[in-house]
Amino acid sequence: MHGYDFMLAPLISLLCMAIGLIVYLNNRKDSSGKAFAIISISLGFWILSAFLSDVTKNEFYSLLLNRVTFVSLFFFMGGLLYLPFVFPARKKYANYIKYFLIIFLFFAAIFTFLSSGIVASITFEQWGSNLTYGKYFLVFEIFAFGSIIISLILSIINYVKSEPEDRTKLRLFFEGLFIFVLITIVIEVVVRNIVGSDEFYRFGNYAAIVFVAFIAYAIIKHQLFNIKVILTEIGVAIVNIAILEQIFLPRSSWQVAVNVILLIIVAYGSYVLVKSVIWEIKQKEQLQDLTIQLSQANSHLKELDEMKTEFVSLASHELLTPVSAIEGYLSMMLDEHLAKVEDPTAIRYMDRIYRSSKRLARLISDMLNISRIEEGRLLVEKKDVNLTELIKQVIDEIKFKAEERKQRVVFEKSEIRSTKSETISNDKNSNELNTEFMTYGDPDKIKEVVVNIIGNSIKYSKNPGTITVSIKKVPKVTVEDVWKRVEGEIKGRPLDDQEAIKSAVDPHFREIVGDEQILISVKDQGIGIPKEELPRLFKKFHRVGDYTTAESQGTGLGLYISRALVELHHGRIWADSEGPSHGSTFTFSLPDISAKEQIIGLEKEIPQDKEQLKPLAKPMNANISDKFENFPISDEELKKRNHTK
């Protein structure tokens, strides 16, 4: 035993205990802090008791102190075993290990301390005490060796799996352990064999400080806030003690008085400083907690939203079949040839039910389509489409319905350069094929849009009039300019209205492509739309005016779906109206066929699960005229609208 041992051993052991305690106190909620505290504090005890066992001249005390050393070693190894289960992150089965260790270490400590199973006896040498191991020393060896091996293997696994930030921590842990184990092996094995006694084991113990320092640094490295408090407290304490000391030095009484006042001021200042640092840290911690909570709430909401859409899609799908069956049977009952219902009142009621069920089927299929669009599950099969033909076909299918409502549907297509326009009205049939207006798209979806818009213009026209469908080509900038204006207008409106520009489709679909755009517009002489309503039309469930009356026939979903369908084709849709009674014009754009390659290229980049894709849902036995069966607006409502103008 040398003079420096008397200084080194207590100092290192106290340092180990202090570091362990500080880390534990600052990370009380954290299991890794606890594991580290066990390692560090037991290391402190180990070094201290080993040192004291050498210092004491009493054989009995020395034996007991040597046993304390081994109890500490058990705890040290236990801590080492526990650490990788909670550091850098807590594992699921960490609790089992914890309970096993608590029970095992409890019995191991009692057994080691009270029996001669581990440490049998000691003999005093000139340098200190030499040990004779007991019969069960193997238990200690197995536990120690096993703990180190398991800890090492798990830490390596943790290291491989962990994030870069945790890797630094783990690397520090390894480096510390490596240096400690290396020094210990060199001293305990190599030196022991050369010298033939335990004389130099202490140096191995002293090396433990390297290990403790490395882990302490690793654990607190990312919790510098807490260290800030400790540093502030230490600094403040030093200043206060220095002033306090001044008071007790022999001085004149007024100097003492000044010092006392100074001390009071400084003490108060210190108190405020420490408090403010703690407050600042608490704020930061709260902010961190809140950020975590917020991001959790956010992902929860997203999940709920997805669940909601999934539910709507599932429910709509399940509803469509029975509703279609009701509709089918009702139509058979209403058919004189198929069933006999004599009572005219019953027939009237049944007719109402039939109409309602048709509307219900329409609503359900609209909702199903919306969920398909919003989930990106709508099957879009694009090919070359002749828009002139497509529009003619729709007009053909719709013209009888239009005639019933005294509407004439005319089709105008103008060439880009010439002003010449060709007119096809519903009484004049022209089958001339025009190759000018070709696009690359899904004919089914484009047809749906055209039917929706022409359907609306028939539906919302009360007096006899003309519906003009026109088609022309414009440069890309025209569409971009119009859309910028529409978007600008909507952005200046309340949040609720801004929904009208929230797109439901992938941005790849939305991009306006090609230099030439085809514009299709439908102009009617119907009831018109108040200016302030224009930007809202394309919102989900939006309908102009008060639609709580029984007269209401629409769903308010047609334009929302039309907009999404147009956007799936790199187009835009908008509405214009001079106000109530002045008719309305709905216009949408589609890219010219020349942009076909660009479209194919863009859409390749959209991630899609092909098996999930579904076509547009349509109610069974649906036909175009279902969409605008009755004029849906009462005279009163119409008067009111004229009034608001």
* Binding-site ranges for ligand ADP (CB under 6 A): 452, 456-457, 460, 524, 526-527, 529, 537, 542-544, 554-560, 584
Q: Taking a C-beta distance cutoff of 8 angstroms, is the pair 38, 235 a contact?
A: no
Does the CA dihedral 282-284-288-293 come out positive or negative? positive
CB crowding 532-559: b at 16 or more within 10 Å, else e: ebbbbbbbbebbbbebeeeebbbbbbbb
What is the H or E stretch that residue 471 is in? strand 465-475
HEC letters along 117-161 = CCEEEEEECCCCEEEEECCCHHHHHHHHHHHHHHHHHHHHHHHHH
3-state SS of 509-522 is HHCCCCCEEEEEEE
Q: Pick between residue 442 and residue 524 the one whose CB is nearest to ligand ADP.
A: 524
Q: Which residue has the CB atom at the shortest distance from ligand ADP?
A: 554
| Between 12 and 467, CB nearer to ligand ADP | 467
The nearest distance, CB 559 to ligand ADP, in angstroms, is 3
- Shortest Cβ 453–ligand ADP spacing (Å): 7
What is the SS3 assignment for 423-443?
A: EEECCCCCCCCCCCCEEEECH
Please name every residue paired with 439 in a beta bridge, in sequence order, or none if there are none: 385
460: amino acid identity, one letter: Y
Q: Rounded to the nearest whole angstrom, what is the least distance from the CB of residue 637 to ligand ADP in the complex?
A: 10
CB closer to ligand ADP out of 447 and 596 = 447
Beta carbon of residue 470, minimum distance to ligand ADP (angstroms, whole number): 15
* Two tokens, residue 202: 């202490």
Shortest reach from residue 163's CB to ligand ADP, in Å: 49
Name the residue nearer to ligand ADP (CB basis): 158 or 452. 452
Q: Cβ closer to ligand ADP: 323 or 363? A: 363
The CA radius of gyration of the chain, in Å to the nearest whole number, is 42
The three-state DSSP-derived secondary structure of 542-581 is CCCCCCCCCCCCCCCCHHHHHHHHHHCCCCCEEEEECCCC
Q: Tell me whether residue 410 or residue 512 sits nearer to ligand ADP (CB atom).
A: 410
The residue (of 298 and 630) whose beta carbon lies closer to ligand ADP is 630
d(CA 215, CA 175): 9
Pairing of strands 573-577, 383-386: unpaired
Handedness of CA 226, 230, 235, 240 (dihedral sign): positive
Q: What are phi and psi of 629, to 5 degrees?
A: -60, -55
- DSSP letter assigned to residue 29: T
CB of 531 to ligand ADP, least distance (A): 13
| Cα–Cα distance for residue pair 347/441, rounded to 1 Å | 44
Q: Please report where in the chains the tokens 């187009």 appear, as a residue.
A: 571
Q: Where are the alpha helices (DSSP H) in 581-634?
A: 596-604
Q: Which is nearer to ligand ADP, 54 or 524 (CB)?
A: 524
User: Closest approach of Cβ 532 to ligand ADP, in Å?
Assistant: 13
Shortest separation between residue 491's beta carbon and ligand ADP, angstroms? 21
Closer Cβ to ligand ADP, 53 or 456, answer by number: 456
573-577, strands of its sheet edge to edge:
421-425, 407-414, 465-475, 516-523, 584-591, 573-577
Contacts of 267 (CB under 8 A, 6+ apart): 240
Q: Which is nearer to ligand ADP, 28 or 639 (CB)?
A: 639
Closest approach of ligand ADP to the CB of residue 619, in Å: 14
Strand partners, 132: 121
- If the CB atoms of residues 372 and 542 are measured against ligand ADP, the closer one turns out to be 542
Min dist CB 406 to ligand ADP, Å, is 16
**Pairwise CA distance, residues 132 & 155, whole Å:** 34
CB of 540 to ligand ADP, least distance (A): 9
Query: Residue 349 Cβ, how far from ligand ADP at the closest point, in Å?
Result: 24
Which residues neighbour 61 within 8 Å (Cβ) at sequence distance 6 or greater?
Answer: 53
Q: Which two tokens stand for residue 563?
A: 């907009």
Nearer to ligand ADP, 526 or 591 (CB): 526
Q: How many H helices and E strands in the chain? A: 18, 10
Closest separation in Å from C-beta 378 to ligand ADP: 18
CB-CB neighbours of 319 under 10 Å: 17
Judged by beta carbon, residue 64 or residue 453, the one nearer ligand ADP is 453
